Structure 1
Amino acid sequence: MRQTSMAESTEKVTPLTGTRRLADAVRAAKIAAAQRSDVVVDIREADRARLEILAEEMKPIADELDADDLFDFVLSGGATSRYWVDGTAHVTMARDRRTYRFVRETRLGRVTLAESTEPRKIADYVTTYVAERIVERDKAFAVNDGIGEKASDPARTRTQPERGVEPMAASENTTASQDGPDRGGSRFIVGLVWFLLGTVVGAGIPLLLSYLYLL
């Protein structure tokens, strides 16, 4: 009879299959304790527990960019817990202790980029922000290295010939223009002037002699 009762009790026991991890259960307990208490320590623990949930949502992105110096993906403690994305942007909890607030520090002050009570939505906002920062950095690198500048501006390429090739051609054209029709035309005009002067002088000499003879 004893063996039968033990077998029946064994069948009634439902084994835990890991559907809820211990870490999640601990975070939930901290949040529940903070909601029932006004103790500052409990509130800080609850804020950190909520940010740890966000960190779990961001873990795939953080692992993918582990070697990138531009981003941090670090959860800091202290008086106010923060989940740092980079040197200027982080996620913190709002005053209601339920809302995630994604902010960025700028020269003009702190700017709120997104707010939500759902950690997954904030994780999506943070992921979009990370992608935009990567694109901005790539554009900055492209401007600094100058690659693709000639391909993007063919007209500028044509107006900036390679050194030692087209400038020589230009000098040859200049020389040719100096020896060309313009210089020949100037020679013709000078010769015509001298011809006219000779004609005037030649016609004037007989007139001058006849005038002197009559005197």
Structure 2
Amino acid sequence: MKDAGDIITPIEPSRKLSDAIRDVKNAFADRDDVVVEMREAHRMRLDLLAAELAPVFADVPADMDSFDFAVSSGLQPRLWIDAVSHVAMGRDRRTYRFLKDTRVGRVVLAESTEMKPVADAVTRYVAERVVERQHMMEGGVESAVPGLHRHVVQEAEPPIRSETGRNGWTTFFAGLGLITAGALVGLAVSLALFWDRIMQMKISF
């Protein structure tokens, strides 16, 4: 039961949930338009850079498939050079950033608001990869320490084999003689050590 002094504010009939939903959708649409515009602006600049680098990409050997050379779509478009390097736009939508993923993290290879310095850095990077591949295919391995040369190790001479069976028999009899001499020496030493005990045993008999 309500008191007589309570003031009741009626809900305005014009305030509807559908109107609030429409306002929220409009706000989301405006924000999406900004995101789309940013993405399109990024992609347009990356397309211009890709067109600038098209002659470089065309000169890469056809059998070298480690490069991508493609602009990816998404929230942040990228011009992929290979699996670990790409060009992306900075937060200001004007700065080109040439990035590479390494074991210690992502590093910046080049960064500029001008297209030419970044295009030159990408060209240099592609040239280095091509030369490295050619060097590996040719089998050339440079020494880690300049001026250090490996010494040539000569092969060991093969063991001398006996020419006739006579040498084999001679070796056999020589070994047998050594064994016999060793046995005789051992027997003599044993007799010398136990001679007193043997004499005592004879006396007792």
TM-score by length of 1: 0.50
Kindly provide the amino acid, as one letter, of the partner of residue 65 in structure 2: D
CA-to-partner distance for each residue in 1:64-104, whole Å, 9 max, x for gaps? 12622111111111111000000000000001110000000
Match of 1:91 among 87, 93, 106: 87
Match of 1:100 among 96, 99, 105: 96
Secondary structure at the residue paired with 1:80?
coil
Q: What is the aligned length?
A: 122
Q: Say if 2:55 is the partner of 1:65.
A: no
Shift of 1:40: 1.1
Gaps of 5+ in 2: 1-32, 142-147, 162-205
Structure 2 contact 98–110 (Cα < 8 Å) conserved: yes
CA-to-partner distance for each residue in 1:120-172, whole Å, 9 max, x for gaps? 221110011111222333344445x88xxxxx96842xx345xxxx836x969
Tell me the residue number matched to 1:27. none
Q: Are residues 101 and 154 of structure 1, via their aligned partners in 2, closer, same or farther at CA, if it must alter by over 3 Å?
A: closer
Tell me the residue number matched to 2:108. 112
Q: Distance in 1 between matches of 2:70 and 2:154?
A: 49
Report the structure, 1 or 2, having the larger helix content: 1
Q: Distance in 2 between matches of 1:53 and 1:66?
A: 23
Tell me the residue number matched to 2:157. 167
Secondary structure at the residue paired with 1:95?
coil
Q: Distance in 2 between matches of 1:78 and 1:88?
A: 18
Tell me the residue number matched to 1:126. 122
CA-to-partner distance for each residue in 1:163-194, whole Å, 9 max, x for gaps? xxx836x969xxxxxxxxxxxxxxxxxxxxxx
Q: Say if 2:44 is the partner of 1:49.
A: yes
Kindly provide the amino acid, as one letter, of the partner of residue 43 in structure 1: M
Secondary structure at the residue paired with 1:98?
coil
Secondary structure at the residue paired with 2:67?
coil
Q: Distance in 2 between matches of 1:95 and 1:42?
A: 13
Tell me the residue number matched to 1:77. 73
Q: Are residues 153 and 129 of structure 1, via their aligned partners in 2, closer, same or farther at CA, if it must alter by over 3 Å?
A: same
Q: Are residues 142 and 167 of structure 1, via their aligned partners in 2, closer, same or farther at CA, if it must alter by over 3 Å?
A: farther
Q: Distance in 2 between matches of 1:76 and 1:108?
A: 25
Q: Distance in 2 between matches of 1:136 and 1:66?
A: 13
Gaps of 5+ in 1: 1-37, 147-151, 173-215
- Divergent runs of 4+, >3 A: 138-143, 152-155
Kindly provide the amino acid, as one letter, of the partner of residue 157 in structure 2: P
RMSD: 2.8
